[in-house]
Structure 1
Amino acid sequence: MSRTPLDTVEHAAATPDVELPWAELGLKKDEYERVVEILGRRPTGAELAMYSVMWSEHCSYKSSKVHLRQFGEKAPQSDALLVGIGENAGVVDVGQGYAVTFKVESHNHPSYVEPYQGAATGVGGIVRDIIAMGARPVAVVDPLRFGAADHPDTKRVLPGVVAGIGGYGNCLGLPNIGGEVVFDACYQGNPLVNAGAIGVMRHEDIHLAKASGAGNQVILYGARTGGDGIGGASILASETFDDAKPSKRPAVQVGDPFQEKLLIECTLEAFREKLVVGIQDLGAAGLSCATSELASNGSGGMTVTLDDVPLRDSTLSPEEILMSESQERMCAVVEPAKVERFLEICEKWDVIATVIGEVTDGDRLEIFWHGEKIVDVDPRTVAHDGPVYERPYARPSWQDELQADDANKLARPADSEELRAQVLRLVGSPNQASKKWITSQYDHFVQGNTVLAQPEDSGMIRVDEATGLGVAIATDGNGRYAKLDPYAGAQLALAEAYRNVATTGAKPLAVSDCLNFGSPEDPAVMWQFAEAVRGLADGCLQLGTPVTGGNVSLYNQTGEAAIHPTPVVAVLGVIDDVARRTPVAFQEEGQLLYLLGDTREEFGGSAWSQVVHDHLGGLPPKVDLERERLLAEILISASRDGMIDSAHDLSDGGLIQAVVESALLGGKGARLVVPDGLDAFTFLLSESAGRAIVAVPRSEEVRFNDMCGARGLPVTRIGVVDGDSVEIQGEFELPLTELREAHEGTIEALLA
């Protein structure tokens, strides 16, 4: 894109008729005309580069902003919320002077193009968001979605993604404590690689992305800037994926976790010495994002000398330098008197650091190249004042037919033998089978503070060794439910993550989300998105869990085929003492099994309907958020007071899936009795929400029942922990050896 003569601001003003490749950079004609209107002239090539990446769907949320406002308008009052939407990551108060920051983001399209680097740099990017808030990263999570488990391309994408996540996270020394893996043909050309991270700091250590104080120096530090990832995440994630358009397949970023580890330690030391006024990581849109956001969030302007940016490739044009998404880079604003010490710390950690600019008392972002001004913009117009689209949306014509195709009317097993066979088939299906082949590639216990990790209901990390203070996180989302009803589907994702956190004994505090959808230019997809956001906003208001931030990933479709609407919800919770956590595994024989909540005939979107009938239709399970809140209170109280020794939420696969997982993890079987008023099929396979199964020591039975009765939560004794099989009295028996073979061999066999 470089031109001769150099495309300076002066040259642009004098040559209004020069054609610029705005369409190739992803801008629409009216968007380009808006840039010209803002500047009062045509943009320079460098300015065009900045506007194109910052106004992309991925960076500007131009199709989703109008709906995302609900998270602010409907935000519940929360004493725990310290930093909300708009910063690199949300921050919540977890007590004892500690704050925790967490966020989930997507790296979907890059991970399809180059699975290893796409996934690895997704982890690297989310970790830098955590560092930028002033926190030490303590754990990562990875909600993943792939195409059909037996499809040849899944064998290409999944191992690479898993290796990238494990390779980067393990090298950083961060435990991977949660997430999920889901297979569905709708994700065939569009895998979802969502990455989350958690960080811990003291309240006084919170940092924000703003450049204030005229004369303060702008320091770029970390890796050199290269040609990898030019426009990568920002443009690649902002258009429908189409193999015929090489322009939509720019180079995926290349990660170096060892460089990132140095960057973490260097940054945290600079924070400890109070050297940083403002800070921003370089992720999507690279320097274009860091400079414009720092300047627009501060109180003045900024000048930048692009010649001073350390390069890996000396042939890069200024436009390419501004668009590069090379990894392991950050931008800090430092007072002049502290610059020398900041650079000393960078040198100590072998981190390249260069002063590239200065905060000014004006209101412009000015960037120079070879002594010539190539950018002169109001930074807000780049970072915050991009297009806002009120995309047309409409309930799709096929929605009624889909919901009328009731899964509750599908053929059910004719007898106990057929029910047994279907249960065995279900627990061995790719979505319900053990993911140990995948999760064993991640280090769960590095740093020594992991309390719970996969396959527990939520991951848990100890924050304070002396007191046992800890935090738990769960990520959940069911695209099948959301396809049937996006409003309810989003609330079911929230409810499940909320329930998973409470099941381990932690109190849910706040939410981050990653909203994965198809093309916003399709009114049906925009209806799904609008409904899901409305459902999530309403649900968070009712549960009192504010949305602290997150990510929107659109254009997840190939041609006309969109993925199922997939809102992934992360819930963060706090526990006063991790020693009182509740695991999934059955602990002792003789303990009594209780089912909490109501079981109804609800099979729409269920694992049974998918595995046995390859069917998607009907309505998803009903959502009762007040019941979810009550269930959570019971689970937290029972955990705290020692009334239960194990607990497991009921979701995909129903009660039998939960029992099998608890039995296999604990190496102890169970004898179950079908309660009065339920048939064995509904009892075992219904996916009614708001339910959990708990194991109660006999000494606590009366106290536990009294608590549930006093609070009005339905509770039913359904069996006992016993033996080496799962037995449904009067129906069938499944030895643990047979269950283990079915449950644990599936994924490895598919990917071998």
Structure 2
Amino acid sequence: MSLNDSDHKLVTEHLGREPTQAETALFENLWSEHCAYRSSRPLLGAFESDGENVIVPPGDDAGVVAIPSSGDGDTYIAMGIESHNHPSYVDPFDGAATGVGGIVRDILSMGAYPIALTDSLYFGDFEKEYPRYLFEGVVEGISHYGNSIGVPTVAGSVAFHDGYEGNPLVNVACVGLTDGDRLVTAEAQEPGNKLVLVGRETGRDGMGGASFASEDLAEDAETEDRPAVQVGDPYSEKLLIECNEQLIDEDLIESARDLGAAGLGGASSELVAKGGLGGDIELDRVHQREPGMNGTEILLSESQERMVYEVEPGNVDRVAEIAERYDLQASVIGETTDDGIYHCTFEGETVVEADAEFLGEGAPMHDLDHAEPDQPERDLPEFDLEAAFETVVGSPNTASKRWVYRQYDHEVQVRTATPPGDDAAVMAIREAETGLAISAGADPNWTTAAPYDGARAVGLENATNLAAKGATPLAAVDCLNGGNPEKPDVYGGFKAIVDGLADVCSTLSTPVVGGNVSLYNDSVEGPIPPTPTLTMVGTKDGYDAPPMALSGEGTLLLVGGTDDGPALGGSELLARSGGSDRFPELPGNAAELIETIAAVADFESTLSTHDVSHGGLAVALAEMLTDDAGADVTVENSLAPFDEQPGRVVVETTDPDAVREAFDGVAPVEKLGAATADGTLSIEAGDASLTVDASEVAELRAVIEDEL
């Protein structure tokens, strides 16, 4: 490990001497892009993170938001998101699994109990063998870890795109429950308190993971970078979850931090620095599973299932007793100090002695050039309705993801009222007598075609998913993925998705309370598309939500969007058939639109609802079809079924006039036709028409299950 010349000079000047080996490694990891956000932090001020319900804004392990409650007392949710992109390329199973473990521990460190996971996954062309290998391994890793620890994976997305050929993305989010009495932060409280490491033994796995995540993937990354990938043990994590719960119940913890990027060095230095304190740490005291580890290895190892706690001296013995009860080890590794110095010894010698705040905040930000993304010209290929329908509905991007979510235990904890496979999951938060809707994902087709508008569409799409189930947005976390920011065109695309996502979340009055940035997602295949994954939560009264499946008894209306004509920019149809077009127009009154969709979804006369997004109306109707319920619809032309303008929902209703009245002055309402009881989808589109039955649609949509 080594610092670049400019960072080395800055560190040497600050220390007044040459850094030790351990200091060099620690600075390299803490000042990496992964930890310090040196290229992205100048852009992140665009996000609004304040709000009447925000309890803990960005800057901690997770954001915390109060749920507007009709129950007794205050109920909070903790939200966090992280990427495990490079590790999942090198080792798809362990890379994805430890991504789940890491984000769950971020929730634990806030004093919260994890109740839900989301996974947003991006791979190369599904028709190629290697992306399918990565896909299978990642899903297996997520399911193994999440199922083993008893946290349901309830929402997410899967996208296939040539731009992820050499660098897949694995973005995982977690939501947890806590309250005002149980809330803990990563801010050290008092000098003289003990620092206690609880969890598995420290080994040599995951060495330099933060710096590894801050550079382009090399051609030989699968072999050369494997030691940087952590190896997880979900059964130890389950014990840690329950141990953490008891420690919080007994009020034994003053502050906490998960050991993730940069290991013990990152967690403990950030903990004390955030509280304006220092720390003395004896690395020899760290419990280890491998003999002969040196101070640098102990300090930087990213071995999993470990937490560092600040504990009052009088509570240390009780913490050790509880850890032992859960078959976990606890080591008193040091204490907080009042001098602001982060000091580590190994075998009696000082190996790190630096200002704690300088370690965490001293990295200079990068001032990078950017180039504005080009806008595509209109170039539409010839196609007929039936062929286009088969192409789009049968695409892996819009096909059924049942193969994925059936591997996840979404019923554990008995909170999942609306399971995966719908627009959004709905969790029963009985403590607040509230339904918590969760949506997650992004669309690389959109942000490739138009990074700024595509990112705005991602935000509106997630909000529409919530609204279709009767919920209004409460808060969000984002995972901003990009390529090498030193390339002006790449950085320009990244800047555009940041601005677009920030603008739409502001428009929706949805605070972004946490996030993650993952850059240098480049490989020999080139940079990834700019990818702004968003996990958004919303609330509603009660836990019931209208289903996605048609009942076969109502009138079908298309609500929302704008009066702008069909546009195919970023659509799955163009991605599959070539050509280009302008990106669809987004509504200018997004907040009012979302509130109205949510209100209509909860009407007694509403029989079913489904958001229109990836693949357009054609895919939305295909997904609503059942063996016993179909649809007979008419649209203006053959482009209309494939327009992916966000902010639109298909509503099946017994009272169309009530829906029109609700949307009067808010958004267009278009009558599509009627639901039927024959399991057949009929579409009249200008001069073209098609008719397919439920079995034909199911066969088209089973492409992932058929291939795996």
Partner in structure 2 of residue 644 of structure 1: 606
Quick one: distance in 2 between partners of 1:76 and 1:621?
A: 28
Separation in structure 2 between the aligned mates of residue 584 and residue 338 of structure 1, nearest angstrom: 52
Counterpart of 1:706, as a letter, is E
Q: Percent same amino acid at aligned positions? A: 39
Query: How far off its partner does 1:204 sit?
Result: 2.6
2:697 is aligned with 1:733: no
What whole-Å deviation, never above 9, does each CA across 1:283-306 have from its counterpart, x for those lacking one? 111011111101101142110010
**1:748 Cα shift?**
2.3
The answer to which of 196-205 and 305-314 deviates more is 196-205
| Pair 1:459-2:425 in alignment | yes
Query: How do residues 262-661 of structure 1 correspond to structure 2 at under 5 angstroms?
Result: 262-395=239-372, 399-400=374-375, 403-404=376-377, 406-407=378-379, 409-413=380-384, 419-464=385-430, 468-559=433-524, 561-579=526-544, 581-586=545-550, 588-597=551-560, 598=562, 600-611=565-576, 613-615=577-579, 617-626=580-589, 628-661=590-623
Q: Determine the structure 2 residue equivalent to 1:690.
A: 647
- For residues 705 and 327 of structure 2, the distance between their equivalents in structure 1, rounded to whole angstroms, comes to 41
Question: Is 1:542–1:625's contact at 8 Å kept on the other side of the alignment?
Answer: no
Amino acid at match of 2:106: D
Amino acid at match of 2:51: S
Q: Distance in 1 between matches of 2:214 and 2:625?
A: 45
Q: Deviations over 1:497-545 (max 9, x none)?
A: 1111111111101121111110011111111111211222222222111
Structure 1 215/487 Cα, relative in aligned 2: closer, same or farther at 3 Å?
same
Q: Which moved more, 1:419-428 or 1:240-249?
A: 240-249
Secondary structure at 2:701's aligned position in 1?
helix
2:44 corresponds to:
68
Mapped contact 1:543–1:625 kept (Cα < 8 A) = no
Query: Is residue 192–residue 337 contact of structure 2 (8 Å, CA) maintained in 1?
Result: yes
Structure 2 counterpart of 1:9:
none
Cα distance in structure 2, aligned partners of 1:541 and 1:742: 39
1:93 to partner: Cα distance: 1.0
Choose the corresponding residue for 1:228, options 205, 213, 219. 205
Per-residue CA distance 1:724-747 (angstroms, 9 max, x = gap): 110124722101111111112x01
Q: Is the 8 A contact 1:630 1:713 kept in 2?
A: no
Aligned to 2:88: 111
Contact 1:726 1:733 in 2 (8 A): yes
Q: 1:667 to 1:255 in 2, by over 3 A?
A: farther
Does 2:138 align with 1:161? yes
C-alpha distance in 1, partners of 2:258/2:296? 19
Match of 1:17 in 2: none
More displaced 10-residue stretch of structure 1: 323-332 or 296-305? 296-305
Listed one character per residue, the Cα deviations across residues 432-479 of structure 1 (whole Å, up to 9, x for unaligned) are 1111112111111111110122211111211116x6412111112122
**Alpha-carbon separation, structure 1, partners of 2:276 and 2:126:** 52
Give the 3-state SS of the residue equivalent to 2:599 in structure 1.
Answer: helix
Q: 1:54 aligns with which of 1, 15, 30?
A: 30
Report if the CA contact (8 A) 2:113-2:177 is conserved.
Answer: yes
- In 1, are the aligned partners of 2:265 and 2:299 still within 8 Å (CA)? yes
Give 1:165-244 correspondences, 5 Å limit.
165-232=142-209, 234-244=210-220
Cα deviation for residue 551 of structure 1 reads 0.6
Displacement of 1:332 = 0.1
Residue in 1 aligned with 2:661?
Answer: 706
Q: Is 1:671 matched up with 2:629?
A: no
Contact 1:643 1:704 in 2 (8 A): no
Encode CA deviations 1:62-95: one digit per residue, 9 max, x unaligned. Answer: 1111111222xxx275211111111111111112
Residue in 2 that maps onto 1:89? 62
Which range moved further: 533-542 or 499-508?
533-542
Aligned equivalent of 1:720: 674
Looking at structure 2, the residues matched to 38 and 750 of structure 1 have their Cα atoms a distance apart, in angstroms, of: 57
Q: CA RMSD in A?
A: 1.6
- 8 Å contact from structure 1 (residues 226, 326) kept in 2: yes
* Aligned partners of 2:471 and 2:598 also within 8 Å: yes
Kindly state the Cα deviation for residue 374 of structure 1 after the two structures are TM-superposed: 1.3
Q: Is the 1:296–1:380 Cα contact (8 Å) retained in structure 2?
A: yes
**Alpha-carbon distance, 1:343 to partner:** 1.2
What SS is found at the alignment partner of 2:409?
Answer: coil
Residues 660 and 508 of structure 1, relative CA distance in 2, 3 Å threshold = same
Give the Cα–Cα distance (whole angstroms) in 1 for the partners of residues 416 and 647 of structure 2.
27
8 Å contact from structure 2 (residues 117, 172) kept in 1 = yes
**Aligned mates of 2:666, 2:296 — CA distance in 1:** 64
Question: Partner letter of residue 110 of structure 1?
Answer: P
2:21 to 45, 49, 61: 45
TM-score with structure 2 setting the length: 0.96
Question: SS of the counterpart of 1:578?
Answer: coil
- The CA distance in 2 between the partners of 1:498 and 1:551, in whole Å, is 20
- Provide the rounded CA distance (Å) in 2 between the counterparts of 1:390 and 1:251: 29
Residue 8 of structure 2 aligns with an amino acid whose one-letter code is Y
SS in 1 for 2:367: coil
Residue 669 of structure 1 contacts residue 726 of structure 1 at CA under 8 Å; is this kept in 2? yes
Q: Return the alpha-carbon distance in structure 2 between the equivalents of residues 708 and 526 of structure 1.
A: 40
For residues 583 and 356 of structure 2, the distance between their equivalents in structure 1, rounded to whole angstroms, comes to 45
- The 2-side partners of 1:731 and 1:560 are apart by 41
> Are 2:111 and 2:183, in contact at CA under 8 Å, matched by a contact in 1?
yes
Distance in 2 between the 1:373 and 1:288 partners? 14
| Distance apart, 1:688 and its partner CA | 1.9
> Offset at 1:247?
5.8
Counterpart code for 1:236: F
Whether the 8 Å contact between 1:76 and 1:544 is mirrored in structure 2 is no
Distance 1:276 1:667, change over 3 A: farther
Shift of 1:574: 1.0
Q: CA deviation at 1:424?
A: 2.0
1:85 match: secondary structure: coil
3-state SS in 1 of match to 2:369: coil
C-alpha contact (below 8 Å) 2:469/2:546 kept by paired residues: yes
Residues 391 and 573 in structure 2, CA contact (< 8 A), matched pair in contact too: no
Partners in 2 of 1:206 and 1:215 — Cα distance? 22
User: Aligned letter for 1:654?
Assistant: G
For the 8 Å contact 1:236–1:250, the answer to whether it is kept is: no
Instruction: Say whether the 8 Å CA contact 1:504–1:582 is kept in structure 2.
Output: yes
Unaligned 5+ segments in structure 1 are 1-20, 414-418
- For residues 308 and 247 of structure 2, the distance between their equivalents in structure 1, rounded to whole angstroms, comes to 13
Residue 100 of structure 1 pairs with residue 77 of structure 2: yes
Aligned to 1:16: none
- Whole-Å Cα distance in 1 between the matches of residues 386 and 696 of structure 2? 12
Mapped to 2, the partners of 1:236 and 1:619 lie a distance apart of: 38
Q: Distance in 2 between matches of 1:483 and 1:155?
A: 22
Partner amino acid for 1:55? W
Shift of 1:720: 1.5
Does 2:52 align with 1:79? yes
